[in-house]
Structure 1
Amino acid sequence: MENKRNLENLINATSAIQAAERAIQKSFMVNKQMKAFEQVQQQIILFARVYSRVANSASGIVGLSEEAMSSALIELASFGWYINLSFSMGEMKKMKQLLEEKKIQELNVFMCKVLQEDYKAFKESLVKAYPDRRQPLEAAFEAHEKGQYYLSIPVFFAQTDGICKQHTQFLFFSKEGKERGHEPKVKRWAMVEMCEGFHRTMAAGLLCNGAFQLHESLPNNLSFTRHSVLHGESSDYGTELNSMKAISLLHYVKDILER
C-alpha cells in the first residue's frame, strides 16, 4: 500500500510539474508575442509620423528642381547641417527658404526640431545596423543626452568616417591632394554609384567639402572643423547645437550609403 501511495504521489507530482511547464511555456509565448507586437506598434507609429509629414507637404513638391536642391544641400553643409531620408519635401523647402533668406538662427532651430523628432528611432536603427559599433555609438549618444558634447562630437565624427569607409572604401573626411583641389575622396565613389535621379541630388553632401571638412586657412561659417577637434586645436565646439550638427551628418551618411 505504501509503495502504491508513493507511486501515486510521484505521478501527481510529475503531472503538476508538467502542468507548470506548460503554463510557463504559454506565458513565455504570450510575452514574446507581446514584445513583437510592441515592436511592430513602434514601427507603425514611426511610419505614420513620417507619412504624415510627407502627405501634409505634398503641395510643396513642385518647384524643387534637382539643381536647386543640390545647391541648397551644398550650402546647408557649409553651416554643418545635413538632411536625411526622413525629411519631407515640405521640410526641404522650408530649409531651402531659410537658407535663401539668410535666417541661420531660425535654420538652426528648425533643423534641431526635425532631427529631434526622429532622434530615438535613428539611434536605435543605427546601433541595429552596425552592431559591431554598438559601444562607441551608445557611448556617444549617452554623452550627448547628458550634455557632454565635448565627448559626443569627436565620436560622432569618427563613426561617420568608419561607416563611410565600410560602404565606399573611403573615409568621409579624407581629401585629395592639392592637384585635385582637396576634394573629398568619397566623391570618386559617389560619381559612379550615385549618378541617377534622387540619389544624385542627395549625394551633393558627398561631392563637396562642408564646414566640418574645410582647411583652417579657408573662410568657414563654423569656428571649428573635424580636424581642429580631433587634433586639439579647438576648445569651443562643445555645444548642443554642434552635437546635433554632428548627428545630422552621421544620419545623412547612414541613409545615403544604405540606399
Structure 2
Amino acid sequence: MTANAKDTKAMSTHLRQWQKMSERIQKHVESILKRQEELEKTVQPLLESRAALQKSLEPILADQEKWRKVIASSELPQYALPADLWAIAEQAEKLRKSLEGIISPAFEEIQRSFKEHPPKTQTALILLATHGWYFDPEMPIPSLWKLGNALEKGSVQEVEEALTQYFEDRLDKIEASITGRFPTREKVIKAAFSAHRRCEYELSIPVFLSQTDGICKEVVNKYFFMKQNGKPCTAIYVEQIIAPDTFRAALLSPLARSLPIGASEKERGADFNELNRHMVLHGESLDYGTKTKSLKAISLINYVSHVLKSDNNEP
C-alpha cells in the first residue's frame, strides 16, 4: 500500500470515528438536556418560593443594615441583632457567590474558546471551499481542522478521497435532512439524489446547483451565485447580521467569499478545473459529470441548507 493510500485510509477512518463519536455525544447530550428540563420543572416552584421569601425579607434586612450602621457609628452598647435573620442573609450571600463561582468560569471558558476557534475554523472552511468542498455541520469541528491542515500541507488527493468516501457514506442522511428542511423541494431534490445513485452525474449536478440557489433565495432573499460589487450577494446578508469575530461568522464565511464554484470568467484561469456553476449551467463545461464533483455539489447544498436554515431560525 502506498503512502498516499495509507494517509487516505487513515483520514477516512478518522472521519468515521468522529462521526460515531459525535452521534454518541449527541444522544448523551439529549439525555442530559431532558433530565435538566425535568429538574428545572421540579426546582422552579422552589425558586419562586425563595424569590418570594427574599422579597418579603428585603424590608427587614434593610432595617437591620440601617440599625447596624447606627450602632456602629454611635457610643451605644453593641446589641446583637436577631441571629436567625443574619443567618438567612449569610446563606443567601453564600448561595449567590457559589453560583457565580460555577457559572462565571464556565462562561469565561466558552468566550475564550469562541475567540480562539473562529479564525482557525474559518481558515479550514475557506480551504475546503477553495477545493470545491463544503463543510457538513454534522462533522466534528476537530475533523474540519484536520482536513484544513492536510490541505495546507498539500495533501489534496488524500483529502479528496476521504471526503468522497465521507459524503458517499452519508448520502441517505443528507437527503433526508435537506428534504426535511425544505419539503416543498422534496421531489426535485430526491430526483437529483436518484440521478447521483445511478451515476448520472450530468443530471444530478445542475439540479443540486440550481436548488442551492433556490434555497438561498427562499431563506435570505439572496441568490448564492449572484454578485454585487464583486462579492456574492450572500456576503451582504452575512455582513449585515453577524458580528465579524463570532463563531457563527466563521461558519458562514464561505457565503461571503468569491470561490471557485461561483468564479466568473475573469476569475477562472486557463487551467481551471473545479466545479463551476456558470460553466455547468451555461454549457461551457462538458466534462463535469464525475462522482467527485457530484458529491461536491451535494456538500454545497447540504452546507447551505444547514447553516442558512438554522441561522434563520435563531431568535
Q: TM-score range with shorter-chain normalisation?
A: 0.7 to 0.9
TM-superposition CA deviations, 1:20-72 (whole Å, max 9, x none): xxxxxxxxxxxxxxxxxxxxxxxxxxx966334889xxxxx999732132122
**1:183 maps to 2:183:** no
Match of 1:102, SS state, is coil
> 1:135 matched to which residue of 2?
187
Residue among 246, 252, 256 paired with 1:207 = 256
The residue matched to 1:218 in structure 2 has which SS? coil
Q: Give the Cα separation in 2 of the matches to 1:53 and 1:82.
A: 23
Q: Any idea what the Cα deviations from partners look like across 1:47-99, whole Å, max 9, x if unmatched?
A: 966334889xxxxx999732132122112211111102101123112211111
Asked if the contact 1:212–1:226 (Cα under 8 Å) also holds between the matched residues in 2, the reply is yes
Aligned to 1:116: 168
Give me the TM-score of the superposition, normalised by structure 2: 0.60
SS at match of 2:131: coil
- Partner-residue secondary structure (3-state), 2:261: coil
Q: Which runs of 5+ in 2 are unaligned?
A: 1-18, 28-112, 311-315
Pairwise CA distance, 1:115: 2.0
Task: Determine the structure 2 residue equivalent to 1:13.
Answer: none
Structure 2 counterparts to residues 236-255 of structure 1, below 5 A: 236-255=287-306
- Determine whether 1:173 maps to 2:219: no
Aligned to 2:287, the other structure's residue is in SS state coil
Q: Deviations over 1:177-229 (max 9, x none)?
A: xxx2x100111111122336221110111010121101122245534410010
Change (3 A) 1:191 1:217: same
Tell me which residue corresponds to 2:123: 71
AA paired with 2:254?
A: G
| CA-based RMSD | 2.4
How many pairs were matched up?
A: 204
- Which amino acid in the other structure matches residue 280 of structure 2? V
Q: Does 1:90 align with 2:142?
A: yes
| Cα distance in 1, alignment partners of residues 266 and 25 from structure 2 | 41
Q: Give the alignment partner of residue 267 of structure 2, picking from 218, 227, 231.
A: 218
Aligned residue for 1:227?
Answer: 278
Which structure: greater helix fraction?
2
Structure showing greater radius of gyration is 2
SS state of the match for residue 260, structure 2?
coil
Unaligned runs of at least 5 residues, structure 1: 1-46, 56-60
* Of 121-130 and 166-175, the range deviating more from structure 2: 121-130
Judged with a 3 Å threshold, the aligned counterparts in structure 2 of structure 1 residues 197 and 227 are, in CA distance, closer, same or farther, namely same
1: CA distance between counterparts of 2:193 and 2:171?
10
Cα 1:78–1:214 change in 2 (3 A) is same
Alignment-derived partner of residue 163 in structure 1:
215
C-alpha distance in structure 1 between counterparts of 2:206 and 2:135, whole Å? 20
